[in-house]
A and B are shown apart, each in its own frame.
Chain A
Amino acid sequence: MFSFVIKRMLMILPTLFGVSVIAFGLIRLVPGDPVLMMIGERGASPEAYAQMKANLGLDKPILVQYGKFVSHAIQLDFGTSIISRRPVIEEFTSRFPATLELGLFSSFFAILIGIPVGILAAIRRNTWVDYSVMGASLIGYSMPIFWWGLILILFFSIHLGITPVSGRIAMEYDIPSVTGFLLIDTWLIPGAAFAEKWQAFVSSVRHLALPTIALGTIPLATIARMTRSSMLEVLGEDYIRTAKAKGLSRPRIVWIHALKNALVPVVTIIGLILGSIVTGAILTETLFSWPGIGKWLIQSVTSRDYPVIQAGILITSVMIIFVNMLVDLAYAWVNPRMRIKT
């Protein structure tokens, strides 16, 4: 196991190098002069030009530039945003909890519904339960989530009027950020009565509901399908037949004997759904005006805020690389056969 851990950790080095080159090269591959593009063609005094060039680090030889870029990135220094003129890392950390909260809740939503539903479909195989679960998950899997979000808004917000259309919490609340998670921070409002905290909490839950469903739908469908096929495979194994022959009850076989092994490949889904969560978060945040990383990134593309784009791409991909590594390690831990492969 130890050598596997070392090997797997070394494997991320070339990947980290690759994404850093992409983030670094981005600004240099833009056609035209990025400096002029950012300060605007008209009022570019030579001083402003030189300062912007230095700010972007474009006034040194390319290898020096790359070295600087990496050493700054390691110290979480990504320069200042062209639009807000604040350090990029500050902007990032103020928005990240919103995305994390949404991502975590969608993942819980997908896992807590997806796994039981997948098991149900497997044990009721070829019945209407199985067919409707598989049908629904196929539709969920094919769903354009930006449209699904709008349909949810249309039904729950406009038709029924029970959920808000956008944002994280009602305008009247100004919640001081402690953890960054509004579901927790609403309980930590200094000097507030219980009733007020409760109302703020309910407001944040109502804001979170639709984005969670929209973002969680595709992962939910993926997890349900995967759990079903994994469960079916395990239920066909010899040891399950032995358990049946021993006269064990069916629930015991399914929930105690089969489930443990069926869930092993499902561990990998965390890695698999991560990509769709990131892509989905960008769409969901844009749709629901959720003040997170995704919306910020899309805005920065529109406004050509290069330092933000660079940082957003680098930080997100580095996080994906690390999470995938952890998933692989967890998989190798629960399934020793994996350690020999790769």
Chain B
Amino acid sequence: MNTTFWQGLKQNRGAVIGLVLITVFAFLAIFAGLIAPYDPSEIFEKSLRLKPFWQNQEALQSPHLGVSHLLGTDDVGRDVLSRLLYGARVSLGIGTLVVLLSASFGTVIGLISGYYGGTVDAVIMRLVDIRMALPSVLLAIVVVTILGPGLSSTIIAVSTASMPSFIRLVRASVLAEKSKQYVQASQTFGASAFRQMFITILPNCAAPLIVQSTLGFSDGILDAAALGFLGLGAQPPTPEWGTMLADSRAFIESDPWLVTLPGLCILFVVLAFNLFGDGLRDALDPRLKRGQ
């Protein structure tokens, strides 16, 4: 599987672009502290809403000034480049936590639901239905009303919102695998329910899980940014892209780049994960690839 998988992935140009972008963003996020020229909350009172280098003729002529704030400053005089770099850390951090939480809880619940069936399954499926009736922002409203706005509320809300897709996915795979001979064989040899679920069945659900996790990243990052934009998520002065966008809305006419840049960052990160996820799915599921 491995060689064909990598070959399939390498042939998919979109997946390669996605992976490269993800690597770049991850690198920037991890080393934000080293790359960023300033602290994201450092305020330069004398240079409010400084234009980025391509619009700033003065800066272009004097190399010193141009280097000092490459992408300009925001309305309170903070360096935009530094905030965007630290924002990558916040967004990718949220994405990672959301995927870890929703994938691990979702997998365990899905395994239990599919393996035991009956009443347990029915109860879990009805809970999933209830979650499905509350779209992510409504769910976030519930969480924020109880816990107050902030990054932890965002992570709880978005993880809960993306859990059902993992539950359904794993449950469906378990139902398909359960009746196969190798599972029955392991039962004949006296494997415990725990062993059957996690060691016999789970590895065979890995492919769709990996794909869903990649796509979970993009959904998580997008949802978290939306909550930041609505004022329900990360609170200022956290350098979160959605919050940055909301804060600079008033300056859209005079300083459009303050709005444009954080949005472009969100778009590119989400696009990268979607491209990579689609590519992974094609590479892991040859049936789909041929169908394309």
Q: Which residues of A contact B (CB under 8 A)?
A: 11, 14-15, 18-19, 22, 26, 29-31, 138-139, 141-148, 150-151, 153-154, 158, 229, 232-233, 236, 275-276, 278-279, 282-283, 286, 297-298, 301-302, 304, 306, 309, 312-313, 316-318, 320-321, 324
A278-B138, A313-B138 known; A29 and B146 CB under 8 Å?
yes
Complex Cα gap A233–B260 (Å): 39
In contact, B267 and A317 (Cβ under 8 angstroms): no
Cβ–Cβ < 8 Å partners of A229 in chain B: 291
In contact, A144 and B267 (Cβ under 8 angstroms): yes
Complex Cα gap A309–B139 (Å): 11
In contact, B271 and A233 (Cβ under 8 angstroms): no
Q: Is B274 an interface residue (CB 8 A)?
A: yes
In contact, B267 and A142 (Cβ under 8 angstroms): yes
In contact, A320 and B133 (Cβ under 8 angstroms): yes
Residue ID in chain A nearest B221 by CB atoms = A144
In contact, B242 and A138 (Cβ under 8 angstroms): no
Complex Cα gap A269–B268 (Å): 26
In contact, B146 and A30 (Cβ under 8 angstroms): yes
A22-B134, A275-B135 known; A146 and B229 CB under 8 Å?
yes
Closest Cβ of chain B to A14, distance in Å, is 4
In contact, A275 and B132 (Cβ under 8 angstroms): yes
Cβ–Cβ < 8 Å partners of A232 in chain B: 291-292
Cβ–Cβ < 8 Å partners of B229 in chain A: 144, 146, 283, 286
Cβ–Cβ < 8 Å partners of B226 in chain A: 144-146, 279, 283
Q: Which residues of B contact A (CB under 8 A)?
A: 14, 126-127, 129-130, 132-138, 141-142, 144-146, 218, 222, 225-226, 229-232, 242, 245-246, 249, 252-253, 256, 259-260, 262-263, 266-267, 270-271, 274-275, 278, 291-292
Chain B facing A: main interface SS: helix
A141-B274, A144-B270, A147-B266 known; A283 and B146 CB under 8 Å?
no
Residue ID in chain A nearest B126 by CB atoms = A14
Closest Cβ of chain A to B236, distance in Å, is 14
Complex Cα gap A208–B185 (Å): 62
Cβ–Cβ < 8 Å partners of A11 in chain B: 129
Complex Cα gap A115–B262 (Å): 32
Complex Cα gap A113–B225 (Å): 27
Q: Which listed residue (A147, A309, A324) contacts B145, Cβ 8 A?
A: A309
In contact, B141 and A150 (Cβ under 8 angstroms): no
Q: Which listed residue (A147, A320, A321) contacts B259, Cβ 8 A?
A: A147
Complex Cα gap A11–B142 (Å): 24
In contact, A138 and B271 (Cβ under 8 angstroms): yes
A26-B142, A147-B259 known; A15 and B130 CB under 8 Å?
yes
Complex Cα gap A76–B213 (Å): 41
In contact, B242 and A144 (Cβ under 8 angstroms): yes
Complex Cα gap A30–B147 (Å): 7
List 6 tightest A-B contacts by C-beta distance, closest first: A147-B263, A18-B130, A142-B270, A275-B135, A317-B133, A142-B271
Cβ–Cβ < 8 Å partners of A19 in chain B: 130, 133-134
Complex Cα gap A188–B240 (Å): 47
Residue ID in chain B nearest A34 by CB atoms = B145
Cβ–Cβ < 8 Å partners of B145 in chain A: 26, 30, 301, 304, 306, 309
In contact, B267 and A158 (Cβ under 8 angstroms): no
Closest Cβ of chain A to B171, distance in Å, is 13
Cβ–Cβ < 8 Å partners of A236 in chain B: 291
A283-B137, A301-B145, A313-B134 known; A147 and B249 CB under 8 Å?
no
